[in-house]
Amino acid sequence: MTTPTHLPITTDAAADKGASLAIVLLSRGAAYANGATELAELAQRLHTAVTAQGRSLLMVQPAFVDRSQPALPEALDLCAAAQTIVILPVMVPDEPSLRRWLHKLIMRWRASHVGIDDRPRLIFAQPLLQTPQLADVLALTVQEVLTRPDAQDVPGVVGDDDWEHDPKGWSMVPEHQHHVLWCMGPRCAAKGAVQLWPELAHTVRESPGLKKKVMLLQTSCQYPCNHGPLMIVYPGGQWYGPMDRSNIAPVLSQHVLHDQVNEDLRVHGPRTVVRI
Ligand code: FES
């Protein structure tokens, strides 16, 4: 979620919307910052390759279906000046149900731009795993690594090196009394869950009571997406949504510190908090 990795790769000379093309490079998000960096680097390489074909390219914009930002609608907004936008999914695994929903998301984005002149043409490209040439590329990679003189075996030595042992701390169960599950699935992400995660983390970090009692965990889709962004508090099993910047801190503090369930935002689960 670092800023530079989300900047679109633009070509100044192509910044007029003349015969312009924009590409949204669409990936699954990652829980670690390097995931966004890797996608940004791939976007840069793709930009070089497409312009080498002689095409006028406005930008290659990374986007994420979950866990990271920008989400697809934001990426489309950033590309809206182009005449044509190609959405290029590089998701592994490639889930047909997720792709169907992404189609709907794109249709909604288009519907929200009705009446705007020069709406871009939107093309959803073939998913990466269905690219016919992919097997050939992978075969070349295997051939290349097998013929490289410096290709090394993974060491098989068994001794008493540090890498052979995990730290003792990894055997200890922490004292947290509550697990707070925060959905970072595609639909919650499209509704702002990724941007709200730092707010949730800040709320817990800045409150000694919450910090001691709560462990935050990101999850994939929990299914009642229409109520997202979704927060689930265990052990009580109270589901809350839709969460936003203004209700995260009061709902969580009421629940964890004062045993009160916010009835307005309770989607599912008991009306009262039972202490364990
Ligand atoms: S994406 Fe969050 S509940 Fe489905």
Per-residue model confidence (pLDDT) at position 8:
46
Positions of CATH 3.40.50.1400 in the chain:
9-131
Tokens of 210: 């919450």
Cα angle 208, 213, 219; round to 5: 115
The answer to whether the CB of 230 is under 6 A from ligand 1 is: yes
Q: In sequence order, what are the residues at sequence separation of 6 or more whose Cβ sits closer than 8 angstroms to the Cβ of residue 74?
A: 63
Q: Which of 225, 270, 228, 265 is nearest to 247 (CA)?
A: 265
The answer to whether the CB of 66 is under 6 A from ligand 1 is: no
CB 256 within 8 A of CB 233: yes
Tell me the pTM.
0.76
140-149: long-range contacts, CB 8 A cutoff, minimum separation 24 = none
The alpha carbon of 231 and the centre of ligand 1 are apart by a number of angstroms equal to 10
Provide the residue-wise pLDDT of the chain in tens; the chain has 276 residues: 333 334 444 444 444 444 589 999 999 987 666 777 899 999 999 999 999 999 989 999 999 998 888 999 999 999 999 999 999 999 888 888 888 999 999 999 988 876 666 678 999 999 999 999 999 999 999 999 999 888 778 777 677 777 778 888 889 888 899 999 999 999 999 999 999 999 999 999 999 999 999 999 999 999 999 999 999 999 999 999 999 999 999 999 999 999 999 999 999 999 999 876
The answer to whether the CB of 221 is under 6 A from ligand 1 is: yes
Kindly indicate whether the domain formed by 9-131 is annotated with CATH number 3.40.50.1400. Answer: yes
Query: CATH homologous superfamily for 174-268?
Result: Glutaredoxin (3.40.30.10)
The pairing of beta strand 21-27 with beta strand 57-64: parallel
